[in-house]
Amino acid sequence: MTELPESLFLNPVWHALHTKHRHLAVCAGDACRYPADVAPFAAVAAPSASALQQLHSLLAAGESVWLIGDNLPRVPSLSLGKTMDCLQMVLPAQVELPPSDSEAVRLFAADAPQMLSLAELAFPGFFRRRTGEMGSYYGIHSGGALIAMAGERLMIEGYPEISGVCTHPAHRGRGHAAKLIAQLAQDHRRDGLVSWLHVGCENRRAVDLYLKMGFEIIRSVVLRSVARSD
């Protein structure tokens, strides 16, 4: 069974921002975050009051971000909001992949407006104007419109996360998502990397797709919304 080591994956945002995504990191002591127009994720080295106070300095008034982990202390001027239960899943190297879609093309900065519009149909608020800068993205077009996409989000040494998987409601049921995921996974295998992902526990449609493709559940994690309230 392919593992996602706890030393990295209980705090993957922290490790991404201190390695492969260092160029995107905004840091203050034991706290770091992605720019607001890249992704709504932040992390602390450990869930301490001092680290959360440092996180406070990185947030605009009223701004909220997501942290992984639910054992956060309460500190002044930060409010703890809703939680989201997620699964971390990994694709073992021995799993046979379906063929990628011949219509799949790389997406770039010029495609950001269409990518954002499509993502808002699936997971509002998580995809931002510059999210595509976090890794490689592939998409499928129909009539000039982007109808399906998938790409990379958190990047840890040796472990690129597959994310942004979505298909326009009018084009679902045609296997686009699986073929785009397969394209990314094939790229990862070519480069000796391990594909993994996060998925909300309540998103049974996506969980079932990933299980059908051969992804394995490694662990459950909790995302917690944290907002600057002063």
Task: Give the whole-angstrom CA distance, residue 192 versus residue 188.
Answer: 6
List the one residue out of 182, 184, 178 whose CA is nearest residue 166: 178
E strand residue ranges, the chain: 26-28, 31-33, 42-44, 64-68, 78-90, 105-107, 137-142, 145-156, 159-167, 196-200, 216-228
Tens of pLDDT along 74-122?
999 999 999 999 999 999 999 999 877 678 999 999 999 999 999 999 8
Q: Are 118 and 150 in contact (CB under 8 A)?
A: no
Q: Token digits for 118?
A: 């499509």
Residues linked to residue 185 through DSSP beta bridges, in sequence order: none
Output the DSSP codes for 191-215.
Answer: TT---EEEEETT-HHHHHHHHHHT-
Decide if 81 contacts 62 (C-beta within 8 A). Answer: no
Tokens of 138: 């592939």
Class for the domain spanning 6-85+222-228: alpha beta
Same fold, 6-85+222-228 and 89-220: yes
Where the chain has pLDDT below 50, the residues are none
Exposure letters 73-110 (e unless 16+ CB within 10 A, then b): eebeebebeeeeebbbbbbeeeeebeebbeebeebeee
Per-domain boundaries in the chain: 6-85+222-228, 89-220
Residue 146 CB neighbour total at 10 angstroms: 21
Q: Provide φ and ψ at 17, rounded to 5°.
A: -75, -15
pLDDT at 70: 87
Say which CATH class 89-220 falls into. Answer: alpha beta
Q: What is the DSSP string of 43-58?
A: EESSS-HHHHHHHHTT
